[in-house]
Structure 1
Amino acid sequence: MPPATPRRPRNRDDFEIAIICALTLEADAVIASFDHHWDEDDDLSFGKARGDPNSYSAGVIGSHNVVLAHLPGMGKVAAGNIAAFCRMSFPNINLALVVGICGGAPWYEDTPIFLGDVIISTGVVQYDFGRRFPDKFEMKDTLSESIGRPNLEIRSLLAKLTTARQRKKITRAGREFIGRVPDTYPGRSKDILLPANYRHKHQDSRECTVCASCHRDAELVCSKALKASCEELGCDIKQALRQIPCNKDEREPSLMIHFGKFASGDTVMKSGKDRDQLIREKNVIGFEMESVGVWEVFPCIVIKSVCDYADSHKNKDWQDYSAVCAAACTKAFLAYWNSAKQSVDARAEEEELRERILKSLYFPEMNERKSIVTSEAPSTLEWIFSVSRPQMFDSTSSDDGRYSTEAADGSTDQESDPGAYSNEADVSYDYYKNRPRVPQHLNLKSHSHEHETSELSLPEKHGDNFKPWLTSDQPIYWISGKPGSGKSTLMKFLLGDPRTLAALENWHEDVVILSHFFWKPGSSMQRSFKGLICSIAYQILSNDPSLISYFNETIATLRKSSPSDWDQDQLCRLLYRYRDHASRAICIFIDALDEARPGKDTSDTLQFIKSMVSPKIKICVSSRSEPLLKLQFSRYPHLQMHELTKLDIFEYSKSTLHQSTILEPHKLDFSELAWRVAERAEGIFLWAVLVTQSLVRGLSNGDSEEKIEQRLSNMPKDLMGLYRDILRRSAEELLIYREYVSTAINLIRIASTRMAPFSQVTAFDCMMIMEPDLLEDYAVLGKQVSKAELEAKTEVMRKRLNSGCPGLLGVVPYTWAVVFTHRSAEEFIFETEEGQRLWKPYHIPREELLCRSFKAILAMNRFKSIWNSEDFLTMLDAWDQSQELPPRIYDFFLELTLGSYKKGFISPPPADEFDLFYYPKDFLGRFMSTAFRCRHGSFVLRSAKSLEPCASHDTIRCILDLLCYGHLTQYRDTTGTPGSMEYILHIFEQGYSPNWTMPRTNMNHAIGSLWFKSLISTLKWIMRWWDRAWDYSRLISDVKEIFQTFRRAGAHMAVNFPMYLETERSRNRINTFFRPADAIAPGSGHSLLGRSRFMIIEIDTATLMDYIMSWAHQDTMVVGKPRDPGPAAPLKVLAFSSPTSRRLYIVDSESVSARLAETAEQALMFREPRSISPEDTLKEILDRCDGDMAELRSYCRPTKKDYFWKGYRIWAPPVYPRYQSRESSNVWLCSIF
């Protein structure tokens, strides 16, 4: 199984493995081995620390995130500098790999070393580091015995890899990777080893006098010889010490991996004699120039491939291939390395993100259709897994006899001959009764023996090709059939039968089965392409957590809470990326493709199916045989369902007849009767079910044999005719129960205009609508009604609906859902004159039925507590947008929802820490804020006036936050609120003041004017999203428009209010929050009970405006101070505290406040790209802040009591739970909440 792809690192701190290459060709080979390139994502680069001159490439090798450092040149000094800078930018690197090419010893012990072989270091000797005596040079001891010695983890891994078994495995893995780039292999004939004393010089003395006079090692050769090849100099190849084995393929790459010590120095080894001396004295087998410099900085392993023999004959012929070999072995080596950072916390964070994304992809009806599809009858559908199958019917095939059903002229035989099925085999019951259990031959009429043989050998006619498809590499299988032939039942059967998975595992190991069932009568998500891709993504992420690595952990991703937040193209790109790197094989079953919404949804689905298949992903599709789908799928393996179900229908009908009657009537053979049903059904299983149920009713009524025969003979052969016959035979029951049936059908029509999960109708809804007094008492007035009484009434309604229109309408057990028995039943009821008589005319006017239907939903929610206020308000918005609700009814429904919320029958939505801060604290205020988020603005502004003054102020404050934030968000993505300014104006027209107007008698409400809070919301947006905005000039213009709107409404400029500025050190991050001091202790909803360092500062609105404009106009790391702040200080520090203190230190001195304010302002205005880790500047600022707090603490007044600002409590001492530690770590990241 391939390794799981890791998640994109959040910042540079998440990288643990560095690869260092000195040459471009070495780096190119490593980059080619990346499984994913993070630098090619849409996100910003990870960057580097200030002052770091290195260039980096970030990517994935196997299951590891790695960063590649590019060296500007060779040598230990350059490598050491690069490693030091790399440590500064990537502080958590715990393994460095020096990868590339090297010179090699010709032999190691008794093993020859060839060019292209790879050496993995067990130690490093610096051969030019030591003492020079008059008579000799003495090297220092080996680095493996000094400070550069490999650590225990590396030594343990090397000990494992040097075992015979693991050496064989890593060598095999390296060869597999090399096989991807065979063109770089120069051929073994260019692997030449000459004697150590054979100099590389002009061999013909006539060509060069300098080389001719060179006889001893100390004598120099000419400069031209230093650059020339052996061929150009005429080196005698016959003196080579090794010959190419005669049985060796010249073009066959080979690779061996050796483990040993490297000799490293600042000079290139080009002397065979010096090489051999080092080999003898230090037992080295490789020669290179960078590892010493790196080893002083990182735990280091050298993985280099031999490109020459470190003698004077070295050349570049083998460099490209050797670089590839080194990169390939690096990839194989990393498969053995276990990252130490796979900690419990990291896994917990990943699981939390996975759960969040799963929740955002899920929709309640995801599995609804599959759950209500009728399961197969006993002993049916077994033929799908059989090797052979009784041939009952003729079918068509293509000329090539493989998968297509098209005729030579492009049309199918069935299309070209309307009577194609008139010649189907007319197999008698007598034959069936006397046949072997699995018949091998059938007496087919109207067919010659030759025709029979050729036709019956075709696999698609019998379904014999499905099981082979499961084990094959064929990407798509199509199950087609007439309406009601049992396609969905077969798909459900295949999903649940263990033989499906067993067969797929012969195709690929560890396969996952996914499914999606389209449903035309269902919700929008059940009919749409969006529903399909959300369902598939949800199932993949549930089964294969590695998909999480394809989600970028951005704010946009984290804030998605439902499928509506996802963009279709975004999800498709994600799934296609997974397709290209799938860690598990997948088989997807997509049912009822013909029930997808016509037009774009259908075309998008077809394109997705074709794009999604790959060597590890196959798809099985079922649908009716519609022309478009025939065109798309007829060339793939397929079966036609209605041609293969005759024996299944017989078994079902016979079993049902036997089970539904105690005694078999005299002279009536149930088996023969069932066979006749099977013959007349023509493969339409639904027809057989309805007819069998009709026969059972006749038998239960005591009909004679003749009447039973007559009933069967008179049954219409098509489904629509059969539905008419059902209505005729059920006339008496329908007369009694028509009112209930009509109510259910009209409710289904209304519910189809609502969004899921409110698009479903239940027997409970029907019961409530039929009892309006009970509905009013229970849903509106809130009177008590026992649960047992409601359940009993619902059960009565269920029986009435099942009896009133059998075969067309039914109630699902347990869920009480009222559904059509089949899509064709829905088409009959809504599209035929006879069907429409069931629900037209209706005695309850439409508007009254609309109101009762909504009250029934409220009643159901009180009965079972299914939905919260956000669910209701979102549904009402979607319902209103569909233009199905008259305005006065829409307002009435909002009033009903608010009334139910006040009574406690509807709960508020669950709130995370983010919501706790932005929602009003008042219970009704939370409803109003939620309603505004769900686009019920006019209703909220009318209703907010009825709230208590403090609650109304808090609610309007939250709404203005949303409006300012939403108005600016339109410059980042499509989730903004372009009409926000009109709402802001409307708020002030309603009489709300932008200034602080709250009475001083209540000390537990939000502090600050609406104007001040809106400025804070605007500044937060600017600080968070400035680098993501797409139209800066318009953004600045609209920020000014916000200012002008408030100023025109009378907003004061010179008003001061308190604000928290918090910095929290925890888990390699700094979190900086700023917000109003709203009568709460610091950290409520964010930092953990005083674990953050914070200041309480006082600031005025004019200064806030200056900060906003400074941010908006500049693009520097530290934003300039506010322009023209006036004579007063821009901000004043009132008090501060630290993570380890229970005390608040109150600042009484202006000089102390000014000193703290300078650092606080720098921290507040620090600008940094959000996608990279913090720069040293930010650390310096915050360290200085810590130092100032510690130094100035003695000049401040400590307190453990509540702290008040102008009579309002804005701080209370924290209380620590016993289990909670107050210590925190010391690496920081800045983010503005």
Structure 2
Amino acid sequence: MSDPRNYTVGWICAVSTEYVAARAFLDEVHEEPDYVSEHDNNDYTLGRIRKHNVIIAVLPDGEYGTDSAESVARDMLHSFPNIRIGLMVGIGGGAPSRYHDIRLGDIVVSSPRDGKGGVFEYDFGKTIQDLSFQHTRFLNQPPTVLRTAVSGLKAQYKESGHQIEEAINSILEKKPRLRQEYKRPDPSSDRLYQAGFTHPPNNEASCTAICGDDPSKLIIRRERTEMEDNPAIHYGLIASGNQLMKDALTRDTLAKEKDVLCFEMEAAGLMNRFPCLVIRGICDYSDSHKNKGWQGYAAMAAAGYAKDLLCRIAPNRVEAGRKISDILSSVQKDVQDARNAVKDLGFEQRREKIDCWLSPADPSTNYNKALQQRQEGTGLWFLQSNAFAKWKTQRNSFLWLYGIPGCGKTILSSTIVEDLKRTLPRQPLLYFYFDFNDTGKQILESMVRSLISQLYCKGEDTWKQLDSLFSSCEAGRRQPSCESFCKVFLYMIGYSKEVWIVLDALDECRTRRGPPTKGLLSWMRDLLSSEGRNVHLLVTSRPEQDIESELGKWPYDNDIVPIEGDSVTDDIRAYVHTRVRNSEGLKRWQSRPNVQQEIETKLMEKANDMFRWAACQLDALENCLEYRTLQTALSSLPKTLDETYDRILRGIPDEHKPYAIRILQFLTFSERPLRIKEAVDAIAVDTEGDQHFNPDYRMPVPREISYYCSSLVVAISTKEHSYDKDGKHAELRLAHFSVREYLTSTRLGEDMAQNFQGTTARASIAIVCLAYLLHFDRDIPPEEIRESFPLAQYSARYWMTHAAVAEVFIAQIGHGTIGHGTMHPIRVEIGQLQRCITRRLEVC
């Protein structure tokens, strides 16, 4: 098997014709990779061209366009972390003009113009409707090493000509099965029709039979001489869209106005995520007269040029930035060394491979966080109830605990899990927390993967079905469907005599509806439907309409428990009582028991079953240093969570507000939780000054970052850094689901609302990431980036995700139309930042 880390050149094809041509030009074909990343469904051919190790991938059969290409590139980069340069090689439609004698079989290479990339994305729909060209954005230039090689190859061809035709013929001699489809067609089939003459609609017959050779309908061109390259190589602009260009009038307009040489459908999905050179063999003229007869030869010609290009690049130039790419890649590190102490090494090695393949979300972080917030003695009303006792013992039992936002559902879930661990220490206990803070904990498949991983450790009888699925997926080199995982989980449950499952926050799952293999609610019903299993399922959620409606159909009417009333009031009272007496900020009233009692009484009068409300008020009261201020605060307590959050935001000092807003923007709109050391660097970025990032401006005590927006955020120690004393490795998260709901709602105050509109917030995040990466425009050793610049990986991986959502906003910034009056006036030249990130990604 081949090691994915040894491959530095990524080559993407759109259709099987291109894939065959690319494979044919390999000097050597390698074995399949040892492993691929989770959710990577690409088909790969690995091989060698000269001294370069190359990965070739093709889009799924029948799929075209920018989205499919982007998906293939993303998966390739995850599975092959050391890719430095990319090639998009295949066929395209030519745009011949008086300045560019482009013919079938010729090659067009994307070439930058005026400092802009050689590929741009256009809106085909607008072109048809408005009869005018509407481009949406120019895309990143390919890496410098590729552009330099293009210049060298251009000079080589000009001096000595190329041998592409000879190379193709040599391959066809060795592979006679390819001759019929991939040889050069008869030159007489290369017809360029007048732009106004179209192929009859809905007629699949060939142009030879239907359109004919009438000279009045054709553009007559001279024959090429022996001194001219054939195929000819053209360098210039390639237009990329999501629909096939087959309008000759529009083609000619774009060729004249923008000097477009070629049209295709995939490159726009790659250039900002997979900086690459686009090489297209011309198989038709972007008109209604499509010519499939030239596709094979055109694909061969493009692949032949790509091989010549790679032969001009020294491998050491490509490999120069290898360790930096490891830092900036999105591939997770191998964690096999973490379990070396396990006695049964054979099982543990197998377990590691399956765990890496599963990539399960870790629910222990949510469990530990909730336990830390729990006060001793709370939750006993439920643990000692008949409903809980019945649930623990009755066959195929179910319980739904529901309550309003902030009533303590997650803390109660962790209390239940802790009790089950204590009372049923040798029994299979599985649990999962859906989490608005973490996109990896929001869908059914993530939950099933986590439950499978937990159950896999419980006993040998549960191994077999998962091992079988793992083996059927080529020992983890590809990923199965969610349906396959659901079936395996049911099989594993069947081998367990009895299983207890706790699922928290169903309302934070994004895939609640659908059949059992796609929707959480149907999956739950399916889980409990078989008499052959003995499952005890307990879930918590808000009383959302779809959850209440679905569970109302189940035969478990007596197994629904509201989290409200006297029981919750007693828990909140215990929580408030303990904090008033033990909290560092409230200990100042220990000598005045009457004041302590006054605090408890006032809070309990207005808590209304909301732990979250009480916790926020206690946080605020810790800032009252004398009794007059305390009395004022107690007499004006907010009535709701919304009013509470509004006061917290308004109470942030002006000098802290920009930092608080930036922190909250990142936590509200980021794709994953933010580590504290990343957040510290994020607020140290200066998007206005000349020096975008200065390490001297970092906070000396990282954990104090939560002070900027106390009560709205919380620091969580992760499993692998549970002994992290300074907090740099902990994660910073929004304190509660209701915080995100408030910040993104129409209820947010007008003075803050603009900062949390999706486009505004994501634009700010993208600018911070780009400004941070601009700091690396000098020769910083890779080891220093790894150790000293923790936000680098996040910025490199996600800046484009945020920028894509906020594209219009950022474009306005770039033109100077946004800045005055916003929270962060951006005076950094966007083009400069984008060129910088391109240079950094060239070596990753």
Q: Give the TM-score taking structure 2 as reference length.
A: 0.46
**Bigger Rg, which one:** 1
Q: Give the TM-score taking structure 1 as reference length.
A: 0.33
Q: Which has the higher contact order (CA 8 A, sep 6+)?
A: 2
